[in-house]
Structure 1
Amino acid sequence: MDRTTRKETISSLHQENILLAAEELFAEKGFAATTMDDIAKSAEYSKRTVYIQFPSKEEIHDRIILKGFMQLKEHILRSLEGEADFFSKYRALCGSLITFYVASPYLFAGIVDFQTQPLGSGDLPQVKREIFNVGEEINAILEVMIRQGITGGVVNPDTRIKETILIYWSSLSSLIIVAHRKSSYISETMGVTKHGLLEYACTLLLRMIAKEEQDGEETASRH
């Protein structure tokens, strides 16, 4: 390993340690209440070292959100592997979003809250460009799935795909967060588990675009 490569490896290790420490702090205290001093102390670095690796707290936050987008993309791709028909892929997609939230609630919420800016938006930082690109890659995966449904005759051919993806994501992602945060209220007032509510939500969203549903598909789960 030459000197340059070794230096880059050490820098990458420092960055990873800082990001992990910051993610824990952001999840525990919130972004606004966390300082660079807090991050440096938690990561066991001097504040100067933290600033060498990242110019600002915002940069650290955006790097964490980028990691979340990349993990979500891989999570979705893995969930769709081996699923042949549109309905199976759709159900796998719903399940993957729910399991991703359970595994990484802070990253999931950060993705939902992130304000995406088009690449032509003035002086856009590189990390925000990367986030935008990964988000578009996720949208492309979902677009392929919907187009396969149209080709297979199970999705309405007049479906406006890009709008549908945005409606689906904003509706289900927000409901996933609410369902987990208000599970007791949902159980007491609706007589349904959070998982049953989310299954029902997936079914309702599917009806927006589906010409027909799988035989025997349940419209809700109340166990």
Structure 2
Amino acid sequence: MKEHIAAVYKQTIAQAAERLFLERGFDGTSISDICAASGYSRRTLYRYFATKEEILYYIVANGLEQLRDRLTDIVQTKQPFLAKYEHICAAMRAYYERCPISARAVREFRPPSLDAVTPTMEAIFSLGTDINDALARWIEQGIAEGVVRETADVMMAVYVFSAQLHALFDLVETKGALLLPALGKTKEQFVAYGQKMILHSLAKEPLP
């Protein structure tokens, strides 16, 4: 019962903080702001989060957990490599759009010294490893099916693939208002084209 109550309190605080981080930025949001938005006192907030950074890490972990679970489900299905690609792209785009604070923090993250790592940060590292492992299994499937080059370095391909997708999503969100009218393309057309180019970079032979 206590664990359930604690989870509700933490989630409420995190949701309030996430709204404020989106509106004002992390640096522009104070603990007092989060207390006011969540309806909890400083004493209650500090019972669950030692710092504002720990609230951010909690938000990051929540987003990554959702992405990890979705990617794991996709990779475990009995679909061919190419069929899974569309689902993986959709899952990663959903993470980018529905968990923007988590996605942004991951993109801008700089590893701290080992003595500064907290349990929540360890959870983030573990989730990241799980996500990369799921994508690695997918890349290995592509190699086994003859779609991906057999000389591909699997883990390097995972990191580059993830970076390319997030860069694509970031480009269309930050520059789309300028680019799309000039190109005569919709957001969906632009993203679909970008995802096709990323897939071609993995493929052993040209794809239709």
Same fold (TM over 0.5): yes
Aligned to 2:27: 32
Amino acid at match of 1:104: C
What is the alpha-carbon root mean square deviation over aligned residues?
Answer: 2.0
Give the secondary-structure state (helix, strand or coil) at the position aligned to 1:177.
helix
Q: Verify the 8 A CA contact 1:80 1:92 in the aligned structure 2.
A: no
Residue correspondence of structure 1 range 133-212 to structure 2 within 5 A: 133-212=126-205
Amino acid at match of 2:38: A
Q: Distance in 2 between matches of 1:213 and 1:74?
A: 31
Q: Verify the 8 A CA contact 2:61 2:102 in the aligned structure 1.
A: no
Task: Note the residue ranges of structure 1 that are not aligned, 5 or more in a row.
Answer: 1-5, 218-223
Q: Verify the 8 A CA contact 2:75 2:135 in the aligned structure 1.
A: no
Q: Which has the larger radius of gyration?
A: 1
Structure 1 window deviating more from structure 2 (33-42 vs 92-101): it is 92-101
Aligned to 1:221: none
Give the secondary-structure state (helix, strand or coil) at the position aligned to 1:19.
helix
Against the structure 1 CA distance between its residues 95 and 12, is the aligned structure 2 distance closer, same or farther, given a 3 Å change threshold? closer
Q: Verify the 8 A CA contact 2:75 2:137 in the aligned structure 1.
A: no
Q: Distance in 1 between matches of 2:82 and 2:152?
A: 16
Higher relative contact order (CA 8 A, sep 6+): 2
Q: Verify the 8 A CA contact 1:83 1:89 in the aligned structure 2.
A: no
Structure in which a larger fraction of residues adopt helix? 2
Against the structure 1 CA distance between its residues 176 and 129, is the aligned structure 2 distance closer, same or farther, given a 3 Å change threshold? same
**After the TM superposition, which segments of 4 or more aligned residues of structure 1 sit over 6 Å from their partners?**
none
Q: Distance in 2 between matches of 1:161 and 1:102?
A: 27
Q: Verify the 8 A CA contact 1:116 1:132 in the aligned structure 2.
A: no
User: Is 1:57 matched up with 2:26?
Assistant: no
Amino acid at match of 2:110: Q
Residues 77-108 of structure 1: CA distance to partner in whole angstroms, max 9, x if unpaired? 34456461111111221122223333333333
Q: Distance in 2 between matches of 1:79 and 1:151?
A: 17
Q: Distance in 2 between matches of 1:144 and 1:37?
A: 45
Q: Distance in 2 between matches of 1:159 and 1:8?
A: 45
Task: Note the residue ranges of structure 2 that are not aligned, 5 or more in a row.
Answer: none
Q: Distance in 2 between matches of 1:113 and 1:83?
A: 35
User: Is 1:73 matched up with 2:68?
Assistant: yes
Structure 1 window deviating more from structure 2 (177-186 vs 97-106): it is 97-106
